[in-house]
């Protein structure tokens, strides 16, 4: 009797354990279905025979369907926003209550090119600016803030952005998000800095000859009746020399202004570099300042034609040759050269065997009013704008220009020009 009772209890216990295992397995399957967002079919469950299980499965499946519908609505709303705002010139940013990015249009990705896919990233990983993050937080909390400008430093790069924002409800209405319209002000700030530097440098360069002219004229006005003729002649020649310098500065400033305008007035035509350099060298050999210099030409006859503005290039090479005359000692050699390259362009150069330029100054010599201290001062009569004009003309031809200086001396100004101009 006891034996049968033990067997019956063992069978009942096994049945209960199996039922418990099925229920646990069914709960696990239901949890996985909820995670996947896929409704669970009744016949897929090990506990499908339980009456209460059908009710629970139906309720969970209904919640899964509703959640999927809400997720789809949210995705559709964001897709509509992306389609509406994606092609705007203004950058648009939407962040949620935890600072995760939910929308970043094309213009915003162009401002922050280091992060290609901004969506679902934390804003702190993209914009490393505590003031801007405070601005985002305050906007999301409903504080009305005016449009503000922020400086963002990322390594060696600095960005300036201007932002305005407004709080918006999240798609489910349970939290507060924020929408921002951002303008990239980096180029504008750089241009403003260049303008300030240019105005300061131009004012300084113009003030020097003007002050000298004014001082000498005041001396002549006050004492011309008692002044010695030789002193008067010396004063007048000084005024003449600085007047010519003043005119040179103004002429170069006007030339730069024309080159930077929307219509620089270039006229492209086929140009033979071999004959062009030959004529240019003959012209400068006959000038008085070339008496103590040797001008040579190194251009192969097979180099062919390029499309260029010969008059503007004459300004380029004339400036470089005159610089070589000024800053090289007597007996120096100046070479005009050109060679074909592999990328359908030509490389031209003006090279001398003078003292050269220190390596630290080479990256700056094409900047406006920049001067190298040794042997290249105002006493030579330069305006500090010549190489800047050279750079602009070369760039208008679609080319590039750079300088090379050897350790033992010598300077080469090289420029690369395309053979054909783009339509």
254 plus 358 within the same structural domain? no
Of 25 and 105, the one with more pLDDT: 105
Which residue pairs, CB below 8 angstroms and at least 24 apart, start in 192-198?
A: 198/368
Q: How confident is the model at residue 415 (pLDDT cuts 50, 70, 90)?
A: very high
78 plus 137 within the same structural domain? no
**pLDDT number for residue 376:** 46
**pLDDT number for residue 83:** 64
Residue 414 has pLDDT above 90, yes or no: yes
Tell me if 306 is assigned to some domain: yes
163: enclosing H helix or E strand? strand 157-169
Q: Is 245 exposed, middle or buried (CB count within 10 Å of its CB: 0-12, 13-18, 19+)?
A: buried
Of 245 and 58, the one with more pLDDT: 245
**pLDDT number for residue 47:** 47
Domain of 126, in residue numbers? 86-184
And the tokens for 145?
């803030």
Tell me if 207 is assigned to some domain: yes
And the tokens for 52?
């209460």
Check which CATH number belongs to the domain holding 318 and give it: 3.30.565.10
373 plus 292 within the same structural domain? yes
Calpha distance 204→186 (Å, rounded)? 27
Residue that terminates a domain, selected from 85, 115, 131:
85
- The stretch 215-223 carries a mean pLDDT of 85
Tens digits of residue pLDDT in 253-273: 887 777 777 667 788 899 998
Calpha distance 125→95 (Å, rounded)? 13
| CB neighbourhood size of 265 (10 A) | 11
Question: What residues are paired with 122 via a beta bridge?
Answer: 100
100 plus 44 within the same structural domain? no
Nearest to 73 by CA among 146, 172, 143: 172
Tens digits of residue pLDDT in 318-374: 889 988 888 888 888 999 999 988 878 899 999 998 888 888 888 888 888 777 754
Tell me if 15 is assigned to some domain: no
Q: What is the mean pLDDT of the chain?
A: 80
**pLDDT number for residue 252:** 76
Residue 137 has pLDDT above 70, yes or no: yes
How large is the C-alpha radius of gyration of the chain? 39
399 plus 309 within the same structural domain? yes
- The stretch 67-88 carries a mean pLDDT of 66
Sign of the CA dihedral running 234, 235, 239, 242: positive
Residue 412 has pLDDT above 70, yes or no: yes
Residue that terminates a domain, selected from 42, 57, 85:
85
169 plus 222 within the same structural domain? no
Tens digits of residue pLDDT in 23-55: 666 666 656 666 666 665 555 554 455 555 666
Q: How confident is the model at residue 82 (pLDDT cuts 50, 70, 90)?
A: low
247 plus 338 within the same structural domain? no
Residue that terminates a domain, selected from 53, 85, 117:
85
Calpha distance 340→274 (Å, rounded)? 12
Tell me if 374 is assigned to some domain: yes
- The stretch 407-418 carries a mean pLDDT of 87
**pLDDT number for residue 55:** 63
Calpha distance 66→77 (Å, rounded)? 16
Q: Where are the alpha helices (DSSP H) in 141-228?
A: 186-223
Query: Could you give the number of structural domains in the chain?
Result: 4
Tens digits of residue pLDDT in 163-210: 999 998 887 778 889 989 888 888 888 888 877 877 777 777 788 888
């Amino acid at each position: 009797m006891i034996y049968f009772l033990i067997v019956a209890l063992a069978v009942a216990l096994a049945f209960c354990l199996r039922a418990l295992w099925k229920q646990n397995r069914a709960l696990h399957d239901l949890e996985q279905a909820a995670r996947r967002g896929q409704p669970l079919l009744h016949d897929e469950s090990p506990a499908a025979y339980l009456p209460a299980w059908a009710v629970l499965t139906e309720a969970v499946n209904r919640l899964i369907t509703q959640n999927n519908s809400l997720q789809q609505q949210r995705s559709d709303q964001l897709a509509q926003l992306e389609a509406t705002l994606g092609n705007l010139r203004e950058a648009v940013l939407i962040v949620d209550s935890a600072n995760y990015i939910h929308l970043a249009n094309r213009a915003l990705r162009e401002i922050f090119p280091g992060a290609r896919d901004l969506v679902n990233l934390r804003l702190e990983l993209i914009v490393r600016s505590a003031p801007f993050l405070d601005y985002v937080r305050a906007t999301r909390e409903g504080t009305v803030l005016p449009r503000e400008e922020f400086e963002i430093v990322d390594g060696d790069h600095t960005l300036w952005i201007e932002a305005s924002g407004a709080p918006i409800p999240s798609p489910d209405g349970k939290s507060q998000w924020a929408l921002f319209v951002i303008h990239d002000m980096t180029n504008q700030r750089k241009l403003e800095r260049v303008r300030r530097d240019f105005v300061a440098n131009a004012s300084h360069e113009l003030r020097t000859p003007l002050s000298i002219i004014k001082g000498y004229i005041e001396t002549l006005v006050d004492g011309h009746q008692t002044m010695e003729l030789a002193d008067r002649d010396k004063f007048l020649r000084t005024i003449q020399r600085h007047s010519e310098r003043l005119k040179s500065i103004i002429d170069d400033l006007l030339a730069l202004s024309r080159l930077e305008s929307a219509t620089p007035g270039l006229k492209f035509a086929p140009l033979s570099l071999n004959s062009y350099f030959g004529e240019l060298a003959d012209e400068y050999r006959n000038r008085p300042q070339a008496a103590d210099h040797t001008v040579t030409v190194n251009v192969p006859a097979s180099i062919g034609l390029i499309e260029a503005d010969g008059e503007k290039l004459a300004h380029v090479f004339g400036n470089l040759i005159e610089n070589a005359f000024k800053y090289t000692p007597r007996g120096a050699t100046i070479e005009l050269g050109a060679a074909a390259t592999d990328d359908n362009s030509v490389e031209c150069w003006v090279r001398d065997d003078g003292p050269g330029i220190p390596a630290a100054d080479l990256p700056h010599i094409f900047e406006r009013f920049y001067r190298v201290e040794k042997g290249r001062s105002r006493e030579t009569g330069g305006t500090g704008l010549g190489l800047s004009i050279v750079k602009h003309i070369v760039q208008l031809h679609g080319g590039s220009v750079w300088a090379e200086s050897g350790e033992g001396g010598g300077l080469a100004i090289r420029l690369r020009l395309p053979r054909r101009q783009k339509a």
